[in-house]
Amino acid sequence: MKGYAMLKIGESGWIEKERPKCGPLDAICRPLALAICTSDVHTLWEGAIGERHNMILGHEGCAEIVEVGELVKDFKPGDRVLVPAITPDWNSLEAQAGYSMHSGGMLAGWKFSNFKDGVFSEFFHVNDADGNLALLPDNINTVDACMLSDMVPTGFHGVELADVQFGDTVLVIGIGPVGLMSVAGTNMRGASRIIAVGTRPVCIEAAKGYGATDFVSYKDGPIYQQVLDMTNGVGVDKVVIAGGSVDTFAEAVKCLKPGGKIGNVNYLGSGDNIDIPRVEWGVGMGHKQINGGLMPGGRLRMEKLAALVTAGKLDLSPLSTHIFEGWDHLEEALFLMRDKPAELIKPVIRI
């Protein structure tokens, strides 16, 4: 089978590989549609998870099942499925402790295009099919379905990590597709004011639709100064970080009220340390929490998030700005994601 792979840091291309084998609990799937993630860019061009050779990229897509193992109970060949980017081992101790995304070690629930071949391939392997796949509802199209792999669960996890409550004023740093879903989740959680940080006009328009009330450009000076000016020097209750760099945390801490919480889902592709400003962190006593997490994966999460779409509460159509037809466009879509032209939010390829 053919797959689009990271050959080494900075180099990618099509390769031939053996079709993966199906274990007793597993499924083999063929993609119906695929999406490119900023994480693919970090992995391939920044070497953010280290060197990988001939590893097939991709962890966002929906698929049709072509084979299931003999112990799989709820799925069969021909089923159309949602596929989460994170596919934990549900019988692990980490999963029992509530951190399935770290099953088998830190971040090890993230298997596609990390510890094994990803989904940019004619066929891909899903571990624990009953625990990780979900049926694709009839009224969700294959393009929107790709957003449920990673963008929705990650953006919403930032909101969970920041513990957004009714009436909160929330700062969402980064309004690419992940941050847009953080804006949507923040709005659903009942925030009052949602201040969004980003510059691409297409993202700003989408953020307004998802509930952002105010905007800040990180290009117009320090974020914290602008946010403190907008809030009469008081700051915000919560911050969701879905963009920026290791330097963004200092800004976020400065924006927070005492007792505030930061939820980070940004993938820090470079830099060694994160600075926490001593004074604004209450000289160690400000009750300002910093939480960072990989999105939870698995079937229940997919089913619940898909239910928001089927119920008409979450419109994913603004995210997929570039839709391509066929494998031949996969590389073009990947390079587009790296270059982030102004009119791009997310590229998707229908197979």
Contact footprint for ligand NDP (CB under 6 A) = 37-39, 42, 150, 154, 173-179, 197-200, 203, 218, 242-245, 248, 265-267, 294-295, 340
Nearer to Zn ion, 28 or 86 (CB): 86
Nearer to ligand NDP, 69 or 158 (CB): 158
When CB distances are held under 5 to 8 angstroms depending on the partner's kind, the choice from ligand NDP, Zn ion, none that residue 193 binds is none
Nearer to ligand NDP, 134 or 337 (CB): 337
Picking from 176, 112, 171, 172, the residue whose alpha carbon sits closest to that of residue 147 is 176
Alpha helices, H only, the chain: 38-45, 93-96, 129-132, 142-147, 151-162, 177-188, 201-210, 223-230, 248-255, 299-310, 330-339
**C-alpha–C-alpha distance, residues 183 and 212, integer Å:** 6
Nearer to ligand NDP, 74 or 205 (CB): 205
CB 320 within 8 A of CB 345: yes
**C-alpha–C-alpha distance, residues 72 and 182, integer Å:** 34
Scan residues 29-48 and list those touching Zn ion (CB under 5 A).
37, 39
Q: Give the number of other Cβ atoms within 10 Å of residue 271's Cβ.
A: 10
Measured from each CB, the residue nearest to Zn ion is 37
Question: Counting contacts by CB under 5 A, is residue 150 touching Zn ion?
Answer: yes
Nearer to Zn ion, 79 or 150 (CB): 150
Please give the torsion angle defined by the CA atoms of residues 115, 303, 133 and 116, in that order, rounded to the nearest 10 degrees. Answer: -10
**C-alpha–C-alpha distance, residues 16 and 9, integer Å:** 19
CB 176 within 8 A of CB 66: no
Instruction: Give the nearest distance from C-beta 346 to ligand NDP in angstroms.
Output: 7
Instruction: Give the nearest distance from C-beta 283 to ligand NDP in angstroms.
Output: 26
When CB distances are held under 5 to 8 angstroms depending on the partner's kind, the choice from Zn ion, ligand NDP, none that residue 80 binds is none
When CB distances are held under 5 to 8 angstroms depending on the partner's kind, the choice from ligand NDP, Zn ion, none that residue 235 binds is none
Question: Counting contacts by CB under 5 A, is residue 148 touching Zn ion?
Answer: no
Nearer to ligand NDP, 42 or 329 (CB): 42
Phi, psi of 195 (to 5 degrees): -95, 120
Contact set with Zn ion (CB under 5 A) = 37, 39, 150
